[in-house]
Amino acid sequence: MELEIHSADGKSTGKKAKLNDAVFGVEPNDHAIWLDVKQHLANRRQGTSKTLEKSELSGSTRKLHRQKGTGGARRGSIKSPLLKGGARVFGPKPRDYHFKLNKKVKDLARRSALTHKARNGAISVLDGTGMDSNKTKAYAGMLQAFDLAGRKALVVLASKNDNVLLGTRNIQGARVVVASELNTYDIMNANRLLIVADAIAPLESTLSK
């Protein structure tokens, strides 16, 4: 597959980038994508939600009234879950939501996600970001050129670039990643991928093994 290389202002440079079919042209596996996205979201959960159980709740343990002869239900404690202000039965406890996913499945998920984007025409190749400073205006102009203003754009770089990272902080939906850190969730969550030409080689070398 070949895609035109554009400049940061959205104009064609007349050059083309060749994309490896082993990464951008595989048979997509939607179940692998689902598993990888599920793991990504699960690993982001803090798992710190907690409610007080009966033994942890503050309150008197005095029996509210005698066991028999009142005509009402038995009352053993003010902390009963049946009473207002009482404990909660089987409430959430702190837990770890992380789970393991095989590396081959994660690689297949990323290749499948990239293939979906390539088939839908949602990938653009840039000869550079055009950001020589950390001004947000330059990045906003690039989004405007690719009709991505107000939409989710994912910029893939070959290596860390402080100007791009600082210039995108104030734009909602902006996401910048290094090729080696690209994940399935970011790919599927973006409306369009803007891949810098220099990032194609390290991306393909990572996923075509």
Can you tell me the mean pLDDT for 129-157? 84
Question: Which CATH class for the 2-46+98-207 domain?
Answer: alpha beta
Question: Looking at the predicted structure, is the pLDDT value of residue 209 above 70?
Answer: no
Which one-letter amino acid corresponds to residue 154?
Answer: L
Q: What angle do CA 76, 82, 84 make, to 5 degrees?
A: 105
Q: Where are the domains of the chain?
A: 2-46+98-207, 51-91
Question: Looking at the predicted structure, is the pLDDT value of residue 132 above 80?
Answer: no
Question: Looking at the predicted structure, is the pLDDT value of residue 100 above 70?
Answer: yes
Q: By mean pLDDT, which of 26-35, 40-49, 157-166 is the weakest?
A: 157-166
| pLDDT, the chain, mean | 89
pLDDT band at 191 (very low <50, low <70, confident <90, very high): very high
How far is the C-alpha of 149 from the C-alpha of 84, rounded, in Å?
51
- For residue 114, give the nearest of 163, 179, 65 by alpha carbon: 179
Q: Taking a C-beta distance cutoff of 8 angstroms, is the pair 130, 8 a contact?
A: yes
Question: Looking at the predicted structure, is the pLDDT value of residue 131 above 80?
Answer: no
Entry pTM = 0.81
Is residue 184 exposed (0-12), middle (13-18) or buried (19+ Cβ within 10 Å)?
A: buried
Question: Looking at the predicted structure, is the pLDDT value of residue 156 above 80?
Answer: yes
